Structure 1
Amino acid sequence: MGDDQFKLPPGFRFDPTDEELVVHFLQRKAALLPFHPDVIPDLHLYPYDPWELNGKALSEGKQWYFYSRRAQNRVTNNGYWKTLGIEEPIFSSSSSNPTKKVGMKKYLTFFVGEAPNSGIKTNWTMHEYRLSSSASDCASSSTTTTTSRSSKRRGQSNTVRIQWIRSV
């Protein structure tokens, strides 16, 4: 599932900022609104180890982008994703309200082995995004998350994943 599958025009480059991922993709996904280009596929993440994701998501350089439903269990076939305890706010850059928080970004890393305390830390990292409560005006009961990953293991580099959940 590479760029060709999405029938993108020649020269198309997908390199969104954190704000763009949250505002232009995540908010619209949580609100069930259409967006163009609709290039980020849905993927059930946790049956896959990070190195198995190539070809299942929109790939742009060393980053992969996809939506996945939010899950409490972050265990894969050969390991697990562990939070690093770091969260950063994502702010709007709009001139009308440049200090408006639109989302949060959490960092995770992948460990090979059994959760929660054993395992070998890898170079795979994930950035998980979620909407802030003020950012989900049009989807007031939504929580949305996005994730990105990087790896130097097995020849892979970065992966970005967008996770989302719609609660009623």
Structure 2
Amino acid sequence: MSMVEYYDKEEHVGFRFHPSDQELILRYLGPKVAKRSNKEFELDDKTDIYAKEPWRLTHTETNFFEPNEWFYFVKLTQLSENVTGKRMSRKVKGETCDGCWKPSGKLRDIVLEDTGEVIGKKRSLSFYVKGESNASGWTMTEYYLQDGGLFHDQVLCHLKGP
């Protein structure tokens, strides 16, 4: 059952998706990486999140998310092949303009509250239109599952519009 089908039922009116970082890793990204279906609902896969300007992406329209806010599973292999060292290029060759997703902070740990164990990482990014000095107002947080010190190519992206 998709997220939209599950939460468009009358009994869930007024419910909004607002998970903690820990919940995003344990309840959504972990099962996705392990190829286990989520018993509650599945977040959508997105194939073009790094290929188009964020305002040109198609989004699931539902009252489940806050306005101008979405969550998607994305494969890191969708990033540009221009990888230098440990930095990945998130350049967007768009239809209306070119731009890029620039990190706006360091890669931060996501830890289990009770044990302090690192279970994942997250990175915040802002979208910049080429030639503009200020960010566009579009932000994204990428969540990575960390398993035994290794990262997986499946990430969960939390996208917010202005």
The TM-score normalised by the length of structure 2 is 0.72
AA partner of residue 147 (structure 1): C
3-state SS in 2 of match to 1:29: helix
Go from structure 1 to structure 2 and tell me whether the alpha carbon gap of 1:87 and 1:49 turns closer, same or farther (over 3 Å shift): same
The separation in 2 between residues aligned to 1:57 and 1:51, in whole angstroms, is 14
AA partner of residue 26 (structure 2): V
Match of 1:124 among 126, 132, 138: 138
Describe the superposition over 1:116-164 as per-residue Cα deviations: whole angstroms up to 9, x where unpaired: xx444211111111012338xxxx7834422223332xxxxxxxxxxxx
CA RMSD between the two structures = 2.6
Are 1:67 and 2:103 counterparts?
A: no
The TM-score normalised by the length of structure 1 is 0.70
AA partner of residue 67 (structure 1): F
The separation in 2 between residues aligned to 1:66 and 1:86, in whole angstroms, is 21
Aligned to 2:25: 22
Unaligned runs of 5+ residues in structure 2 are 81-89
Match of 1:34 among 31, 37, 61: 37
Aligned to 1:87: 107
Aligned to 1:145: 155
The separation in 2 between residues aligned to 1:105 and 1:48, in whole angstroms, is 22
Cα distance, 1:18 vs structure 2 = 0.7
AA partner of residue 72 (structure 1): L
AA partner of residue 51 (structure 1): W
Aligned to 1:133: 147
Cα distance, 1:57 vs structure 2 = 6.8
The separation in 2 between residues aligned to 1:57 and 1:34, in whole angstroms, is 22
Are 1:50 and 2:70 counterparts?
A: no
The separation in 1 between residues aligned to 2:116 and 2:140, in whole angstroms, is 25
For the 8 Å contact 2:6–2:41, the answer to whether it is kept is: no
Unaligned runs of 5+ residues in structure 1 are 153-168
- Where has structure 1 moved over 4 Å in runs of 4 or more? none
For the 8 Å contact 1:124–1:149, the answer to whether it is kept is: yes
3-state SS in 1 of match to 2:24: helix
The separation in 2 between residues aligned to 1:60 and 1:53, in whole angstroms, is 16
Go from structure 1 to structure 2 and tell me whether the alpha carbon gap of 1:81 and 1:47 turns closer, same or farther (over 3 Å shift): same
